[in-house]
Amino acid sequence: MTDPLTILGIESSCDDTAAAVVRGRTVLSSVVFGQTELHADFGGVVPEIAARAHAEKIDLAVEQALASAELTLAEVDAIAVTAGPGLIGGVLSGVMCAKGLAAATGKPLIGVNHLAGHALTPRLTDDLPFPYLMLLVSGGHCQFLIVEGPDSFRRIGGTIDDAPGEAFDKTARLIGLPQPGGPNVERAAQSGDAGRFALPRPLLDRPGCDMSFSGLKTAMLRARDSIGAEKGGITEQDQADLAAGFQQAVVDILTEKTRRALAIYLEDKPVNRGFAVAGGVAANGAIRAGLQQLCANTETVFTAPPLDLCTDNAAMIAYAGGALHGMGQVDDLTLSARPRWPLDQTAPALLGSGKKGAKA
């Protein structure tokens, strides 16, 4: 056994097949096989295609992660695996692989909640002390969590329909930009006029920090169609103006709802004033700037993990597995794959299930 423990992590809950080796806060290796091209023609992740691709690649991901960490399986102390929430076929691939490795080696098996992996990443990257407020914002998730410990989370709000990444991707499709939508919409927005179209900010007029993005998407469709009806198509400038208007609406929704979430978090006078954002959408410069400014205004420490650890990866699963192991969690071969697994069992259920599986 090494001190701190050396953990092999496995992740396959959505469209990335990943394995990593982490020792304490050091990422010894992190391998991610994406599936973007496999799903490109379908407008979203196709669960059956994802599951098959995970099954084909998961052994290879583990082999490569061990090789690049220059370790053998025998030198690993424990095996952590995402056991949910996510697309069940994919989660099963990871869980079966991890169980096989645990059974063959006798190493402890630790089932990790994918969302806990994201939520604990600021501790891996920045050693952010508990408690802190986290905004998890990606193609599949959008929620505010007060993170109090490795297995203690309070969800104080989230999307009631689409996740913002999904909305970026759909918007890109609507206005004729390639996938993934987020970076392309951001690029187009740079030369656009965000004020040209009157786009809604759903739920901003309601108290609390739940969010909604599907009305915004419908408004985008209408705006595009009205230009199309007028001119018979949309120009590059129209595209830029639509992208800028959409991005500004998302910035406004996320910053205002984060302002309210921060107020709720700070109300309890936490021993630390910390805020972290994670998920693919956290790559967006305008969103990041809005959140960073908000934290500066409230004297809250702002943390955003580097992008490769912000998006889906297995290092976060290995790290979270290590933290849970430290609290005494060990699973056995009855560990099951769970399509839904809310981090906060007491919070009301989030509605809907996005293109990337269950939201919680």
Residues that bind ligand KG4 (CB under 6 A): 14, 138-140, 165, 168-169, 180-183, 186, 279-281, 283-284, 311-312, 356
311 binds, among ligand KG4, Zn ion, none (CB under 5 to 8 A by kind): ligand KG4
- Pick the piece of the chain touching Zn ion (CB under 5 A) from 119-127, 237-245, 308-316, 317-325: 308-316
Task: Give me the phi and psi of 147, to 5 degrees please.
Answer: -95, 115
Q: Which of 302, 11, 251 is nearest to 133 (CA)?
A: 302
Q: Which is nearer to ligand KG4, 280 or 305 (CB)?
A: 280
107 binds, among ligand KG4, Zn ion, none (CB under 5 to 8 A by kind): none
Does residue number 166 form part of the binding site for Zn ion (CB under 5 A)? no
Among positions 189, 312, 313, 350, the unique one binding Zn ion when judged by CB under 5 A: 312
Q: Which is nearer to ligand KG4, 227 or 316 (CB)?
A: 316
Q: Which is nearer to ligand KG4, 285 or 348 (CB)?
A: 285
Distance CA 140, CA 161 (A): 11
Q: Which is nearer to Zn ion, 90 or 108 (CB)?
A: 90
Residue labelled with tokens 């001119």: 231
Q: Which is nearer to Zn ion, 28 or 360 (CB)?
A: 360
Would you give the DSSP letter of residue 5? P
Q: Which of 188, 198, 201 is nearest to 238 (CA)?
A: 188
Q: Which of 276, 327, 2 is nearest to 127 (CA)?
A: 276
Q: Which is nearer to ligand KG4, 157 or 164 (CB)?
A: 164
168 binds, among ligand KG4, Zn ion, none (CB under 5 to 8 A by kind): ligand KG4
- Show the CA angle centred on residue 111, arms to residues 106 and 117, nearest 5°: 130
265 binds, among ligand KG4, Zn ion, none (CB under 5 to 8 A by kind): none
Site string for Zn ion, 255-294 (x = CB under 5 A): ----------------------------------------
Instruction: Supply the minimum distance, in Å, between the C-beta of residue 352 and Zn ion.
Output: 16
Instruction: Supply the minimum distance, in Å, between the C-beta of residue 312 and Zn ion.
Output: 4
Sheet strands (E) in the chain: 6-11, 16-23, 26-34, 78-84, 109-113, 132-137, 142-149, 152-158, 274-278, 301-303, 353-354, 357-358
280 binds, among Zn ion, ligand KG4, none (CB under 5 to 8 A by kind): ligand KG4
Q: Which is nearer to ligand KG4, 6 or 284 (CB)?
A: 284
Residue count of the chain: 360
Instruction: Supply the minimum distance, in Å, between the C-beta of residue 143 and ligand KG4.
Output: 13
Tell me the C-alpha to C-alpha distance, in Å, between residue 309 and each of 83, 150, 196: 19, 17, 36
- Pick the piece of the chain touching Zn ion (CB under 5 A) from 156-164, 257-265, 284-292, 306-314: 306-314
Neighbours of 255 (CB within 10 A): 17
User: Considering Cα of 265, then 250, then 164, then 319, what sign does the dihedral take?
Assistant: negative
Instruction: Supply the minimum distance, in Å, between the C-beta of residue 118 and Zn ion.
Output: 6
Instruction: Supply the minimum distance, in Å, between the C-beta of residue 183 and ligand KG4.
Output: 4
Give one DSSP letter per residue of 50-95, joined into a string: HHHHHHHHHHHHHHHHHHHTT--GGG--EEEEEEESS-HHHHHHHH
β pairing state of 109-113 and 78-84: parallel
Q: Which is nearer to ligand KG4, 27 or 71 (CB)?
A: 27
Residues at the contact surface with Zn ion, assessed by CB under 5 A = 312
